[in-house]
């Protein structure tokens, strides 16, 4: 087949997929605005959106529901892109910031802060992503060093296994730390850890938005680089140290994305896994297509998970992270059972 | 060197490949038992209230209910120390069995989601049947452990290429993540998060005689089962082809081993919560010391595991009294670097 033609076909397919996903995102967005503890009809929502709602409706929609929806979209985007990058860099289709321990590292930093500073109201939402970033990078650095051997470079299996070990260790430490909290703080941390989109105010949107706005284009810009990694190390070693630098840069982007998301949403696993996988099914393996499509899929998935979690039970909320795990866990196991390496 | 030592360059029968050091093993088992007794005595004597060893001895041989020291020893310290030894042995032997039958250096009930499975069942029990007796709690935790064993091994083995360390670890961590998320959801909904976390943090602190009474027959039975299986596990650890070539019914052995692991992990997790890494570290140490014959690896692992948990628990109490450091965190502190070491040593560059 003519490679140019082939490429064009792919691009067309990606464009159609993206358009379809945007439509789906819009539908879910509208649904999500309608559902919640207080019932609002679609008409009321529309009227409120265009400035004709009652003060009560405006309060619910603009102050409670919309910020939370926007955060779900941003977090879903960030985690899915981080997952796509990590899968490319580790050449393991099952890598994900949760499994690699980066989320745990970021979470540990946040929990440490809450434990040592009893007045958590004093922590501005702007500060949380930086804190999570330190933890996320520390975890990533440990995993990277453990997977690195002088003469052989990074091995994908060592990377994955080190991540799993580190996550297990951090989780043990985290339980110990949270036990020292009083019941109120404990509940806050427990809910946050379970992956609840708790920062439902515009302040948190503002805290997260710059990270996504800067890192999303950076990931897209580096997408072609990820294609080179997928060729395997033998082919890629010809490029030598250049490759190691690229790998490091991409890792930094992925860690920064997932850590800033963890800061506002806690540990949501599996999104970074599901997004890229479904994307690959839809548009093939090339990362310039995979990254934007998985970003959209991640955003839609998390929005649905949050919406369902909010409305499934009358008097309680199920954290989005739990919802994602209920769907994502079995899917992950299915992928694993089918995988060859 | 004994005759059974593996000789390089010569065609050897499987039996000759199983190098072992029975004398070293016997020495470690006997020495370990002595050390364990010392450790138990130390554990009973030390704590926020220091008790001289002769008082400990008196409490054991001539218990005087009026003596407060004697009461502390009998009601608090002794059940705790005994449970620690039992659970440490159980986790270590569970790990040894898993590593032997999967030929996988990274198998461990914690990392493979078995602990999470038991924990998930316990979360369900806490939520729906609050105040359930320890007897039933143990049974449910067996079921939980069984469910996750089946999930992890089933999924790991369906895949083409079999159970590689990476695939097993991924399956384990995914099953664990899923079950932990479900437990968290249940705990948040029923507002039992903190109770569950206290239990999950692990520790032998609150163990009572009533619990030890229920615990020990299960663990003792399963340990004997593990010993009986040890010969088959050794053959299984040479690979499925060799094992079936020697006429072993591999699936039957696997099933029996999984049942034993389930009882060991389930009983331990329901008593002390999820303590990871013992099942990973101890069998490695045991194999390095006594060789790869599971007849020796299993008892050595049991002794070393008991020693590790009893000493870690005592150390956690002495570190910064009167606060106690949870034993699961202390063991993770040694366990994570050890895991990194095993990965670097034993895991090849590609799977």
CB B258 within 8 A of CB B100: no
pLDDT of residue B84: 92
A173 with B332: Cβ contact below 8 A:
yes
pLDDT of residue B5: 38
Best residue in B153, B159, B188 for a mutation probing chain A (most A CBs within 10 Å): B188
Range of the domain at A288: 3-339
Q: Is B273 helix (H, G, I), strand (E, B) or coil?
A: coil
Q: Which residue of A has its CA nearest to B349?
A: A155
Q: How confident is the model at residue A60 (pLDDT cuts 50, 70, 90)?
A: confident
Cα–Cα dist B115/A108, whole Å: 22
Integer CA distances (angstroms), B63 to A90, B69, B82, in order: 62, 10, 18
pLDDT digits (tens, 9 = 90+) for B190-211: 888 777 777 777 677 778 888 8
Nearest to A322 by CA among A299, A300, A303, A306: A306
Question: Which of A234 and B317 is assigned the larger pLDDT?
Answer: B317
Q: Is B240 on the interface with A (CB under 8 A)?
A: no
Identify all chain A residues contacting B350, using CB atoms and an 8 Å cutoff: 155-157
Where do runs of H (alpha helix) occur along chain A?
Answer: 3-34, 42-49, 55-58, 66-90, 102-116, 127-147, 156-178, 183-193, 202-221, 223-229, 233-237, 241-265, 271-283, 287-311, 320-338
In chain A, how many domains are there?
Answer: 1
Q: How confident is the model at residue A88 (pLDDT cuts 50, 70, 90)?
A: confident
At the top level of CATH, the class of B81-350 is mainly alpha
Cα–Cα dist B137/B140, whole Å: 5
Point out which residues pair with A33 in neighbouring strands.
none
Q: How confident is the model at residue A314 (pLDDT cuts 50, 70, 90)?
A: low
Percent of chain B with pLDDT over 70: 91
Identify all chain B residues contacting A270, using CB atoms and an 8 Å cutoff: 177
CB A320 within 8 A of CB B184: no
Where do runs of H (alpha helix) occur along chain B?
Answer: 14-17, 22-45, 53-61, 68-71, 78-102, 114-128, 134-158, 165-189, 193-200, 209-236, 240-245, 250-272, 278-290, 294-318, 327-346
Identify all chain B residues contacting A98, using CB atoms and an 8 Å cutoff: 177
Enumerate residues 6+ apart whose C-beta is below 8 A from A208.
A71, A74, A75, A78, A129, A260, A261, A263, A264
Q: Which residue of A has its CA nearest to B347?
A: A158
Residue A43 has pLDDT above 80, yes or no: no
CB B86 within 8 A of CB B211: no
B159 with A162: Cβ contact below 8 A:
no
Residue A186 has pLDDT above 90, yes or no: no
pLDDT digits (tens, 9 = 90+) for A115-157: 777 655 555 667 778 888 899 999 988 988 888 777 666 677 7
B181 with A152: Cβ contact below 8 A:
no
A333 with B151: Cβ contact below 8 A:
yes
Residues in chain A: 341
CB A94 within 8 A of CB A229: no
Q: Chain B closest CA to A10's CA: distance in Å?
A: 30
Domain limits of chain B? Answer: 81-350
Residue A341 has pLDDT above 70, yes or no: no
A194 with B347: Cβ contact below 8 A:
no
Mean pLDDT to the nearest integer, A40-69: 79
Identify all chain B residues contacting A198, using CB atoms and an 8 Å cutoff: none
CB B170 within 8 A of CB A160: yes
pLDDT digits (tens, 9 = 90+) for B129-182: 887 888 888 888 888 888 888 888 777 777 766 667 777 778 888 888 888 888
Question: Which of B117 and B326 is assigned the larger pLDDT?
Answer: B117
> Cis peptide before B49, with omega less than 30 degrees from 0?
no
Provide the token pair at A145. Answer: 């060093």
Nearest to A101 by CA among B348, B339, B105: B339
B167 with A175: Cβ contact below 8 A:
no
Other residues' Cβ atoms within 10 Å of the Cβ of residue A303: 26
Can you spell out the DSSP letters for B111-151? TTTHHHHHHHHHHHHHHHSTT--HHHHHHHHHHHHHHHHHH
Q: Chain B closest CA to A163's CA: distance in Å?
A: 10
**CA A328, chain centre distance (Å):** 13
Integer CA distances (angstroms), B114 to A274, B145, B168, in order: 24, 5, 12
Identify all chain B residues contacting A329, using CB atoms and an 8 Å cutoff: 174-175, 177-178, 181
Cα–Cα dist B239/B235, whole Å: 7
Q: What is the CATH number of the domain that holds A181?
A: 1.10.3470.10
Q: Chain A closest CA to B163's CA: distance in Å?
A: 10
Best residue in A97, A105, A157 for a mutation probing chain B (most B CBs within 10 Å): A157
Identify all chain A residues contacting B187, using CB atoms and an 8 Å cutoff: 190
What is the rounded average pLDDT for all residues in chain B?
82
Identify all chain B residues contacting A161, using CB atoms and an 8 Å cutoff: 106, 165-166, 169, 339, 343, 347
Residue A57's Cβ-count burial label (10 Å; 0-12, 13-18, 19+) is: middle
């Amino acid at each position: 087949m003519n490679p140019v033609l082939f490429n064009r076909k792919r691009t067309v397919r990606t464009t159609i997929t993206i358009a379809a996903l945007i439509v789906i995102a819009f539908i879910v967005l509208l649904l999500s605005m309608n559902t919640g503890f207080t019932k609002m009809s679609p008409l009321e929502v529309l009227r409120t959106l265009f400035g004709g709602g009652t003060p009560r409706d405006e309060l619910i929609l603009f102050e409670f529901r919309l910020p939370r929806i926007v955060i779900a979209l941003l977090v879903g985007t960030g985690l899915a892109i981080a997952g796509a990058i990590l899968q490319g860099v580790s050449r393991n289709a099952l890598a994900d910031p949760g499994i690699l321990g980066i989320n745990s590292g970021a979470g540990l930093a946040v929990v440490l802060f809450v434990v040592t500073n009893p007045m958590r109201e004093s922590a501005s939402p702007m500060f949380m992503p930086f804190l999570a970033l330190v933890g996320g990078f520390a975890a990533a650095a440990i995993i990277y060093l453990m997977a690195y051997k002088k003469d052989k470079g990074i091995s994908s299996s060592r990377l994955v296994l080190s991540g799993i070990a580190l996550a297990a260790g951090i989780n043990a430490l985290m339980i110990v730390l949270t036990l020292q909290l009083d019941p109120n703080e404990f509940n806050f941390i427990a809910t946050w850890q379970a992956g609840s989109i708790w920062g439902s105010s515009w302040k948190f949107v503002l805290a997260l938005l710059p990270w996504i706005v800067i890192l999303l284009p950076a990931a897209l810009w580096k997408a072609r680089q990820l294609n080179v990694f997928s060729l395997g190390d033998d082919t890629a070693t010809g490029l030598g140290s250049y490759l190691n630098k690229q790998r490091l840069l991409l890792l930094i982007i992925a860690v920064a994305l997932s850590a800033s998301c963890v800061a506002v949403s806690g540990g949501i696993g599996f999104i970074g896994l599901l997004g890229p996988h479904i994307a690959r099914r839809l548009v093939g393996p090339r990362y310039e297509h995979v990254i934007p499509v998985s970003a959209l899929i991640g955003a839609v998935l998390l929005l649905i998970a949050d919406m369902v979690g909010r409305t499934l039970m009358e008097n309680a909320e199920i954290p989005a992270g739990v919802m994602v795990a209920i769907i994502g866990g079995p899917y992950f196991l299915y992928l694993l059972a089918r995988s060859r390496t | 060197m004994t005759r059974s030592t593996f000789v390089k360059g010569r065609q050897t029968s499987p039996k000759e490949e199983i190098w072992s050091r029975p004398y070293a093993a016997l020495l470690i088992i006997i020495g370990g038992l002595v050390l364990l007794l010392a450790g138990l005595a130390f554990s009973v004597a030390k704590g926020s209230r220091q008790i001289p060893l002769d008082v400990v001895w008196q409490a054991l041989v001539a218990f005087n209910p009026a003596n407060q020291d004697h009461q502390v020893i009998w009601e608090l310290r002794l059940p705790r120390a005994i449970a620690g030894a039992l659970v440490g042995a159980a986790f270590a032997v569970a790990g040894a069995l898993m590593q032997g039958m999967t030929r996988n250096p990274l198998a461990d009930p914690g990392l493979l989601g078995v602990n999470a499975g038991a924990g998930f069942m316990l979360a369900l029990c806490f939520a729906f049947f609050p105040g359930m007796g320890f007897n039933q709690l143990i049974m449910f935790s067996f079921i939980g452990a069984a469910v996750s064993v089946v999930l992890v091994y089933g999924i790991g083995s369906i895949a083409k290429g079999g159970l590689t360390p990476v695939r097993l670890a991924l399956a384990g961590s995914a099953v664990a993540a899923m079950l932990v998320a479900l437990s968290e959801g249940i705990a948040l909904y029923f507002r039992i998060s903190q109770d569950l976390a206290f239990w999950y943090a692990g520790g032998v602190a609150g163990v009572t005689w009533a619990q030890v009474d229920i615990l020990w027959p299960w663990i003792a039975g399963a340990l004997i089962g593990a010993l009986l299986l040890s010969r088959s596990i050794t053959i299984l650890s040479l690979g499925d082809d060799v094992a079936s070539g020697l006429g072993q019914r591999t699936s039957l052995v696997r099933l029996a081993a999984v049942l034993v692991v389930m009882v060991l992990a389930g009983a331990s997790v329901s008593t002390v919560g999820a303590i990871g890494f013992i099942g990973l570290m101890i069998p490695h140490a045991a194999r390095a010391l006594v060789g790869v014959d599971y007849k020796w690896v299993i008892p050595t692992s049991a002794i070393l595991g008991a020693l590790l948990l009893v000493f870690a628990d005592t150390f956690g109490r002495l570190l910064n009294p009167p606060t106690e450091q949870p034993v699961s965190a202390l063991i993770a502190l040694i366990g994570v670097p050890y895991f990194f070491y095993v990965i670097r040593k034993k895991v090849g560059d590609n799977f």
